[in-house]
Amino acid sequence: MGHKGISVTGLVCSVAFFLLPLHSAYGDVSYSVPEEMKRGSVIGNIAKDIGLVASRLSARKARVDPDGNRKRYCDINLSSGDLIVAERIDREGLCGKKASCVLNQELVLENPLEVQRISLHVQDINDNSPQFKDEVIKIEMRESADKGARFLLDQAHDADLGQNAVQRYTLQKNDNFLLTVDSHTVELVLEKELDREQSNEIKVLLTAVDGGTPQRSGTVVIHVTVLDANDNAPVFSQAVYKASLPENSPLDTVVVTASAADADEGVNGEVTYDFAHVSEEDDKLFSIDRKTGEIRVIGTIDFEEMSYFELRIKAKDGLGKVIIDITDINDNAPELYLKSLTHSIPENASPGTEVGIINVQDRDSENNRQVRCSIQQNVPFKLVPSIKNYYSLVTTGELDRELVSDYNITITATDEGSPPLSSSKSVQLSVADVNDNPPVFEEQSYKAHVTENNNPGSSVCSVTARDPDWRQNGTVIYSLLPGEVNGVPVSSFLSVNGDTGVIYAVRSFDYEQLRSFKVHVVARDNGSPPLSSNVTVSVFITDITCCLNCGSKHFVGLIN
Ligand SMILES: *[C@@H]1O[C@H](CO)[C@@H](O)[C@H](O)[C@H]1NC(C)=O
Ligand SMILES: *[C@@H]1O[C@H](CO)[C@@H](O)[C@H](O)[C@H]1NC(C)=O
Ligand SMILES: *[C@@H]1O[C@H](CO)[C@@H](O)[C@H](O)[C@H]1NC(C)=O
Ligand SMILES: *[C@@H]1O[C@H](CO)[C@@H](O)[C@H](O)[C@H]1NC(C)=O
């Protein structure tokens, strides 16, 4: 079970040239976690640790995001607020021999947007045994070697750390040798002189044990061949060889050449070089030429994986050390991660509304990992830097769905390496409708001419109003505004089709009684609340009969 480590700290945005206050909050929570915990094990209660009621987690869409492109190592139980192990955490695979192994994950919350950095400090457990490079350590020894003569041995390697790494060596009981061990060397000491006539080969078992619980061990056979020829151990020209190597150096690059001199002459004086104990990983990156002592690159040197190597070399029984510092090359483009995005923003969102959180990472070092982010110019959005490598995407102006309903925003991240590398990401945002436009009639006012004695139900004219809003917010419904003409309700004169705006006569008109009248037609949208406007429709009744003034009151003639 993990236990909570460091306290929760709030971090404040410190970039001077953006003055907009940010609503989102950022923080840091740390936990100490032993490696290799079972999936589902509880690391801690993150809801409690960030001061949030667990029942709010679902509403706030709480989720754990892996930092960068690494795996998601933990997850959150939305009902309890527990942070649980989601993926195997192998300290050796993640951090090698590094003393501190920290996995960064992020807890993203919405409404309002919030990012909490989760730091998992991975603790070593004793899951690796000490291992010798070879199964057999071969040593050749002069018969004449004196009591007390010392012979350096390869040390065992244990991927674990501290107490879990190699603590002790023991040598199988034998007639000739003892073991001396100090913090740097393991040596075989001749305790009783050799006698080639008695035996020309001696085999003893060397065991390395670590200090973990349970304890683990590894063994190697020391195979001593007793020679009668004189032999001297070679001595390296330098105790430590130092080299600096740019990452991505091509295969076969010579890193450094070790050289050792042997006091012997002829065949016995020929020096052969080899690595003493190197890890499996280092063995895949560097080779040593047995004859020349040249150390060459045989794999991909990645500063981001490993920036420092310490190799033990040997020439027969002489031991030396090579230190290689890897220098960074700007070989990683920044990577952009969208931590949160509101895909649909209402058009009445006030300027400064946060719509997304962007995280940028660059695996390189120093200047090569300094990254600037920008978006294109002609959009009402900008990026506001927040803690370290976080940016908020906020609106800068009023949005109008009726003018621009969708935005394709391209975010570009560029590092400060030379040459700089950049990458970009596009995000799609759409503007959601708000009922902010009333229907508008196509004409300022309408005039209709109706010939008297018309059929009731015949159409008189039609009105049209337009509303650019979306769906029901832009759906127009027509109606007559209540009113009277000569004391009679307008509805007994005209009617309007609510959907089409076509106006119909309800009765037959008589020019001699009514020559003109006005009604008001309202266009109302279906929004909530609805918006409306009205227009005046003037109706003129035309006389279809003409009384020719010829004495006869009843002479009726058609004009037309
Ligand atoms: C989440 O927590 C609840 C309440 O503690 C528990 O019943 C449930 O089993 C947990 N779910 C998982 C997947 O761990
Ligand atoms: C958005 O813009 C980018 C860059 O201009 C383009 O590659 C992408 O296809 C666009 N996406 C959409 C959905 O228009
Ligand atoms: C209409 O506008 C209201 C706000 O006035 C909004 O809540 C609603 O979603 C809009 N309807 C549509 C279909 O866009
Ligand atoms: C009709 O429109 C006028 C002018 O736009 C407005 O002042 C009036 O209130 C409207 N009447 C109704 C009943 O909507």
Verify whether ligand 2 is closer than 6 Å to residue 430 (CB atom). Answer: no
Closest C-alpha residue for ligand 2 atom 3:
426
Predicted local distance difference test score (pLDDT) of residue 68: 62
Verify whether ligand 2 is closer than 6 Å to residue 408 (CB atom). Answer: yes
Verify whether ligand 2 is closer than 6 Å to residue 410 (CB atom). Answer: yes
Residue range 451-462: average pLDDT? 95
Q: What is the DSSP letter of 497?
A: -
Q: Residues lining ligand 4, judged by CB closer than 6 Å?
A: 481, 522, 533-534
> Counting Cβ atoms within 10 Å, is residue 408 exposed (0-12), middle (13-18) or buried (19+)?
exposed
Residue range 329-358: average pLDDT? 92
φ, ψ for residue 227 (rounded to 5)?
A: -105, 155
The end-to-end CA distance of the chain, in Å, is 102
Give the ligand at the shortest distance from the Cα of 436.
Answer: 3
Verify whether ligand 2 is closer than 6 Å to residue 453 (CB atom). Answer: no
Strand order from edge to edge, sheet including 254-257: 254-257, 294-297, 286-288
Verify whether ligand 2 is closer than 6 Å to residue 428 (CB atom). Answer: yes
Predicted local distance difference test score (pLDDT) of residue 548: 47
Give the whole-angstrom CA distance, residue 550 versus residue 289. 136
Predicted local distance difference test score (pLDDT) of residue 265: 58
* Lowest-pLDDT choice from 17-31, 166-180, 246-260, 384-398: 17-31
pLDDT in tens, 165-203: 999 999 999 999 999 998 778 889 999 988 877 888 999
Closest C-alpha residue for ligand 3 atom 13:
471
Structure tokens at 434: 């708000």
* Lowest-pLDDT choice from 110-119, 299-308, 333-342: 110-119
CA of 542 to the centre of ligand 4 (A): 29
Give the ligand at the shortest distance from the Cα of 83.
Answer: 1
Predicted local distance difference test score (pLDDT) of residue 3: 40
Preceding omega of 351 cis (within 30 degrees of 0) = no
Give the whole-angstrom CA distance, residue 428 versus residue 110. 18
CA of 303 to the centre of ligand 3 (A): 54
Helix count and strand count (H, E) for the chain? 3, 46
Cβ neighbors of 218 (< 8 A, separation 6 or more) are 129, 130, 131, 132, 156, 158, 207, 208
Closest C-alpha residue for ligand 2 atom 6:
426
46 close to 29: Cβ distance less than 8 angstroms: yes
Write out the E strands in 19-131. Answer: 25-34, 42-45, 63-66, 74-76, 82-85, 102-109, 114-123
Q: What is the DSSP letter of 366?
A: G
Q: Answer with the residue of higher pLDDT: 18 or 261.
A: 261
How many angstroms separate the Cα of 25 from the Cα of each of 199, 216, 228, 391?
77, 47, 77, 12
Give the whole-angstrom CA distance, residue 218 versus residue 160. 13
Residue range 425-435: average pLDDT? 96
Predicted local distance difference test score (pLDDT) of residue 545: 62
Predicted local distance difference test score (pLDDT) of residue 8: 31
Predicted local distance difference test score (pLDDT) of residue 15: 28
Identify the bridge partners of residue 427 per DSSP, sorted by sequence position.
409
Predicted local distance difference test score (pLDDT) of residue 94: 84
Give the ligand at the shortest distance from the Cα of 81.
Answer: 1
pLDDT in tens, 207-253: 999 999 899 999 999 999 887 655 566 778 887 899 999 999 999 99
Give the ligand at the shortest distance from the Cα of 440.
Answer: 4
pLDDT in tens, 484-504: 999 999 999 999 999 999 999
Give the whole-angstrom CA distance, residue 191 versus residue 193. 7
Most confident of 61-70, 131-140, 543-552: 131-140
46 close to 76: Cβ distance less than 8 angstroms: yes
Q: What's the pLDDT band for 83 if we cut at 50, 70, 90?
A: very high
125 close to 36: Cβ distance less than 8 angstroms: yes
Residue range 551-558: average pLDDT? 38
Please provide the average confidence, as pLDDT, over all residues in the chain.
87
Closest C-alpha residue for ligand 4 atom 2:
534
Closest C-alpha residue for ligand 2 atom 1:
408
How many angstroms separate the Cα of 401 from the Cα of each of 19, 345, 360?
27, 10, 30
Strand order from edge to edge, sheet including 381-385: 335-341, 354-361, 390-395, 381-385
Task: Name the residue type at position 500.
Answer: T
Tell which atom from ligand 4 comes closest to the C-alpha of 522. 14
Question: Per-residue b/e over 490-503, b at no fewer than 16 CB within 10 Å?
Answer: beebbbbeeeebeb
CA of 20 to the centre of ligand 3 (A): 29
pLDDT in tens, 154-166: 889 898 988 999 9
Cβ neighbors of 66 (< 8 A, separation 6 or more) are 72, 73, 105, 106
CA of 433 to the centre of ligand 3 (A): 5
Task: Name the residue type at position 445.
Answer: S
Residue range 74-97: average pLDDT? 92
Q: Answer with the residue of higher pLDDT: 157 or 405.
A: 405
